[in-house]
Structure 1
């Protein structure tokens, strides 16, 4: 088995834990600063201040296109599509997720965030092509 694709998958999982940590800290800060009470967020998280909502939105994003990434990693390993090009595309996707998070929980500038997201999707599409070519 080639580990070339295991490492970016593990890196993205670690990044997801980092984002969860950011979310936890921002929510904890909101409670500590008395910007929100438990009753305010018991049913909906809309009462959290913007920094906490951005972190929550980014954490939710970690379960959208990354699902495709993890499926492609497993498929690629199953069909032997584990070339250095596939590994580079996987790392490019992981890097795009990290940069996307930094922008999302930071400036949240969509002019920056959207192209980074698109780059990640292009990397995923390249990985899909790699898997497709391996099975044809």
Structure 2
């Protein structure tokens, strides 16, 4: 696979992180600007933000949990030349699951649907790691 094909889902995942940061920031500034939240109320923690703001903050924070394993795997797969079409398709499925998860988080926050999206991503990422490990352990590295 080309480097561009392998990195395209990574770029979308990174874009998601920045988009969620913007949503979180806009919601926070809106609450402060409207006077519904005082700076002193949130200066030492997140607990005093309204639920809509906290949902955006949680969605943003979640991008530094499971996706870290994705961000670690992609360069390893590139470096070892183990990223093929199957790997890229699974990477896109993982990123799509993250988009769905984040979308649910910042809109309806319907927990069962959010959990299904989360678990779909975890399952795909787990398969990506298993496939990568299998290829590293049982197939020779390209010269």
Normalised by the length of structure 2, the TM-score is 0.91
Whether the 8 Å CA contact 1:12–1:94 is kept in 2: the answer is yes
Which residue is equivalent to 1:3? 4
In structure 2, the gaps of 5 or more residues are: 138-143
SS at match of 1:80: coil
C-alpha separation in 1, matches of 2:30 and 2:23:
11
RMSD of aligned alpha carbons: 1.0
Q: Distance in 2 between matches of 1:99 and 1:27?
A: 22
Moved over 4 A (4+): none
Higher radius of gyration, 1 or 2: 2
Superposition deviation, residue 45 in structure 1: 1.6
Contact (CA 8 Å) 1:92, 1:120: kept in 2 or not?
yes
TM-score scaled by length of structure 1: 0.96
CA offsets per residue over residues 58-80 of structure 1, 9 Å max, x none?
Answer: 11100000100011111111221
**Aligned pairs, how many?**
136
Name 1:36's counterpart in structure 2: 37
**Gaps (5+ residues) in structure 1?**
none
* Corresponding residue for residue 16 of structure 1: 17
